[in-house]
Each structure stands twice: as C-alpha cells, then as structure tokens.
C-alpha cells in the first residue's frame, strides 16, 4: 500500500492553504478618505446631478470605461443587479425567451424571470464549458429576445460567433462576464463584444468591492436605461425626456462611495491579480498535461483565460479511478478542490416545479418550455463524472505552495492504482 494521505500517510500539504487577500494599505487609505469626506453615498433618486451618483462612483465608472475601452459603464451593487438592469434595459417582456447556458452561477438563469422572461437552456461545449453556438441556433424561436453568454471560469465563450448569430437574428447579446475580467477573444476584451457586459466585484472574484458589479456598453440608450433601472427611474424619466417607460420601474441597485473607492484602487492592480492567477493555473496545467486521462483547461487560439477557476477533466476509465475518489485523494493531500461545479441550473426547484413569481407558475404559464433531466447532456455528464474544480482566486498560493500543489497531484496520480480499493 502507498503512503497516500487518504490511507493514513503524511499529506503533501500539512496545513490548510491561507485564503487569498487582495486588500491592503491602499484600500484602507481610500476607505478612510471616504469616511472623512462624510459622504458614504452620493446618490439621490430624483432629478439632478446626484441621480448619477457621487464623486467616487463617477470616477470609478470613468476609470472602468478607460480600462475596458467602452463608452459607458453603469456601476451597480452586484453582478446579479447588473444582469437585472441589463435585461430590463433591452426591454425584455413577459413571455420573451432568453437563451443561456446551464452551467453557470444561478443569477444568469434567474434574473430573466423578474421581467417575466423565460430562460431557455442551450448546452455547453465539451472543451471550454461555455455555451455552444450550434445549440444556441437550434433554440432560437420568434419569442427569443436575447442570448446571455457566460465567459465561464475566465475563458471567453465563442463571442464572435455569438455576436454574428445575434446580429443575424436581431437579438441582443449580453455577456455575463463575472468571471472573466481581462479575458479576451481575438484581442477584444470579454465584456465588450456583447451589447452589454456585466462584471462582478463580489468578494470571490479577481478584484472586489465587497459586493458590486459593473455594466459596460457602447450604446447610449442602453446605458441610460440601466441608470434608470438602477435608481428609481420612475421619478426622473420625465426630467430626462425619455419617451419609453417600459421596464423603467427603478430599483435601488446603487454602489456606495466606499465600494467605488476600493474598486478604483483594485482596478489599478487588476493586472497583478489576474496574472498571478494565470501563473498558478498554468503551473497546474503543465503538471497534469502528460498524465493520460487527465485534461487540463483548454485555451482556444487567440484567447486569454484568466483562470477564475482551474477546471480539469478526468476520464475515469482511462485513469482507473472515479472522479469523486480522485478528488477526495487530492483533498486528503491538502489540495483543496471540488468534484464538479454547479449542477445544470434547470435542475433547480424553480425550473423543476416551474414556479417562480407567485403560486400560479408565472411566468412559465406563458411558455411551452420544460426542463426535464437530460435537456443538456454534455453539461450533465461533465458535472456528474468529469470535472474537478480548483479556485485560484480563493487561496494565497506562492511559488512554494504551487510546488506543493503540483507534488500532491503527482503523488495521487502515481498511486492511482491503490485508489481502486478506496471506500467511496
């Protein structure tokens, strides 16, 4: 018997990894300055300059425009809020269909429901785990209003192809770019190919403001409509001379001056935060690349993967061990990982019971769509059998720790034959 930690041997990494901490003195100073200014939020939900937020919010939005090369950025208090504002801004109507991937965080699939929209799931690609354009094409009907592509784990979806499909069919393309700041396809930044790109600044992402989100667009009307949905738009649409009040029933989705001040500082260091994650992921990929039955994350040609998550696939027949046992053996060596990401979202009770708003099943009552198991076979198989998931953004991994992670992987792989006796 080998000395795998799973069987009582010494683990390669004896103590848990430290959590990654991206905040420092600069963030602290920025926060103190906001507190000293006496204004923790500069927003008013009524006509006037303050409708668009305080000094920090406006400066943060301007810096974001500059960095991502877009004309407009609307900051919000989360990516979820950003998706809600984006879908409202495009004029999503009850019964309209929105095509989305099943493998993503739940907000992508849930936000259309607030406007009465019907989520339609199109399966993902085997290699990149992002939405498959050919599957999108076969789901388009006369009810389709938009495609929401997710640049999952930090790798761009096939954005150029999706842009063309959207244009050919008169659809909006929204990018849920929560996970892929600085990712790109053919040199074009993720989040700027869709009509609207939505970024997350929650605590788990590459850079953060505690909670927060950014919506980018080059379309002035969409930007204005998102600003209205963000901040009690019903009070100002007359003042702004807007003649289309559809979905301008404003919420309060506003970012604070504190969040924006931290965001400004974090944005200055975004290259540092992202390249460090890339280095960790590339190190792991190099280690597993000649192991037969293990497939590291793929990076398509002319694309940048920013490795919000490092996600590999295991072929359990080839390796001779189930995904779940392999994952447990890694965990026992001190390599934090999860077998699988989130289950395909149509398996959530909201879709299985077709009940979202109220008790009568609205908005599903207006739709012929159903959500049975088997709907997206690729997403289901990857989830159930193949994916192992590690979060470079969650852990402080210096060069020494990276080496230990690599050694842990090698140890488990080399002793894989012993794992066939492991209790499941």
Q: Which residues bind ligand PLP (CB under 6 A)?
A: 78-80, 104-105, 107-108, 150, 176, 178-179, 200, 202, 213
- Output the smallest distance, CB 82 to ligand PLP, in A: 7
Between 104 and 231, CB nearer to ligand PLP: 104
- Contact present, 314 and 412 (Cβ < 8 Å): no
Distance from the Cα of residue 138 to its chain's centroid: 24
What gap in Å lies between CA 139 and CA 146, rounded to an integer? 11
Between 73 and 78, CB nearer to ligand PLP: 78
Question: Can you tell me which residue has the tokens 């009509």?
Answer: 195
Between 149 and 325, CB nearer to ligand PLP: 149
Question: What torsion, rounded to 10 degrees, do the Cα atoms 268, 271, 277, 281 define?
Answer: 170
- Output the smallest distance, CB 81 to ligand PLP, in A: 7
Closest CA to 307 of 154, 109, 127: 154
- Output the smallest distance, CB 178 to ligand PLP, in A: 3
Between 304 and 416, CB nearer to ligand PLP: 304
Between 179 and 287, CB nearer to ligand PLP: 179
- Output the smallest distance, CB 311 to ligand PLP, in A: 13
- Output the smallest distance, CB 232 to ligand PLP, in A: 20
What gap in Å lies between CA 186 and CA 376, rounded to an integer? 28
- Output the smallest distance, CB 413 to ligand PLP, in A: 29
Write the Ramachandran bin of 253: left for phi over 0, alpha for psi from -120 to 50, otherwise beta: alpha
Between 154 and 296, CB nearer to ligand PLP: 154
What gap in Å lies between CA 17 and CA 14, rounded to an integer? 9
Both tokens of 239, joined, read 């003042």
- Output the smallest distance, CB 200 to ligand PLP, in A: 4
What gap in Å lies between CA 184 and CA 401, rounded to an integer? 28
Between 86 and 294, CB nearer to ligand PLP: 86
Task: Concatenate the DSSP letters of all residues of 120-147 into one string.
Answer: EE-PBPTTT-SB-HHHHHHH--TTEEEE
Both tokens of 127, joined, read 């290699």
Between 80 and 295, CB nearer to ligand PLP: 80
Between 179 and 404, CB nearer to ligand PLP: 179
Closest CA to 92 of 247, 249, 248: 247
- Output the smallest distance, CB 180 to ligand PLP, in A: 9
Contacts of 208 (CB under 8 A, 6+ apart): 22, 201, 202, 262, 266
- Contact present, 30 and 245 (Cβ < 8 Å): no
C-alpha distances (whole Å) from 62 to each of 179, 187, 247 are 21, 22, 26
The kind and range of the H/E element at 276 are: helix 270-288
- Output the smallest distance, CB 213 to ligand PLP, in A: 5
Output the CA torsion sign for 183, 185, 191, 192.
Answer: positive
Decide: residue 393, CB within 10 A, 0-12 exposed, 13-18 middle, 19+ buried.
buried
Between 383 and 411, CB nearer to ligand PLP: 383
Strands, DSSP E only, in 77-195? 97-100, 118-121, 144-150, 172-176, 184-185, 188-189
- Output the smallest distance, CB 338 to ligand PLP, in A: 14
């Amino acid at each position: 018997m080998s000395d795998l930690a799973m069987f009582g041997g010494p683990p390669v990494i004896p103590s848990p990894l430290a959590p990654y901490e991206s905040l420092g003195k600069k963030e602290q100073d920025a926060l103190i300055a906001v507190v000293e200014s006496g204004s923790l939020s500069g927003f008013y939900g009524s006509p006037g300059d303050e409708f668009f937020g305080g000094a920090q919010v406006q400066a943060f939005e301007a810096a974001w425009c500059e960095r991502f090369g877009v004309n407009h950025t609307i900051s919000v208090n989360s990516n979820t809020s950003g998706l809600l504002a984006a879908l409202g801004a495009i004029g999503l109507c009850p019964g309209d269909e929105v095509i989305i991937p099943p493998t993503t965080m739940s907000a992508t699939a849930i936000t259309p429901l607030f406007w009465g929209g019907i989520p339609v799931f199109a399966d993902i690609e085997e290699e990149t785990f992002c939405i498959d354009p050919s599957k999108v094409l076969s789901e388009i009907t006369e009810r389709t209003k938009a495609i929401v592509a997710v640049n999952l784990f930090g790798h761009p979806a096939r954005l150029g192809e999706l842009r063309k499909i959207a244009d050919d069919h008169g659809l909006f393309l929204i990018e849920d770019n929560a996970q892929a700041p600085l990712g790109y396809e053919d040199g074009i930044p993720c989040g700027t190919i869709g009509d609207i790109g939505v970024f997350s600044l929650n605590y788990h992402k590459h850079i953060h403001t505690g909670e927060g989100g950014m919506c980018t667009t080059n379309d002035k009307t969409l930007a204005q409509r998102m600003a209205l949905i963000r901040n009690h738009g019903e009070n100002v649409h007359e003042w702004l001379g807007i003649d289309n009040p559809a979905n301008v029933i404003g919420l309060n989705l506003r970012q604070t001056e504190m969040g924006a001040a931290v965001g400004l500082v974090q944005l200055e260091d975004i290259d540092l935060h992202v390249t460090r994650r890339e280095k960790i992921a590339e190190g792991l990929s190099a280690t597993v690349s000649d192991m037969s039955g293990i497939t590291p994350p793929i990076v398509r040609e002319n694309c940048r993967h920013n490795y919000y998550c490092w996600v590999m696939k295991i072929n359990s027949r080839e390796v001779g061990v189930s995904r779940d046992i392999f994952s447990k053996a890694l965990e026992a060596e001190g390599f934090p990982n999860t077998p699988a990401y989130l289950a395909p979202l149509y398996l959530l009770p909201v879709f299985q019971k077709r009940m979202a708003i109220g008790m009568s099943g609205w908005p599903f009552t207006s739709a012929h769509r159903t959500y049975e198991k088997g709907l997206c076979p690729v997403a289901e198989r990857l989830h159930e059998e193949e994916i192992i998931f590690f979060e470079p953004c969650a852990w402080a991994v210096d060069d020494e720790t990276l080496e230990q992670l690599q050694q842990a992987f090698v140890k488990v792989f080399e002793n894989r034959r012993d794992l066939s006796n492991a209790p499941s």
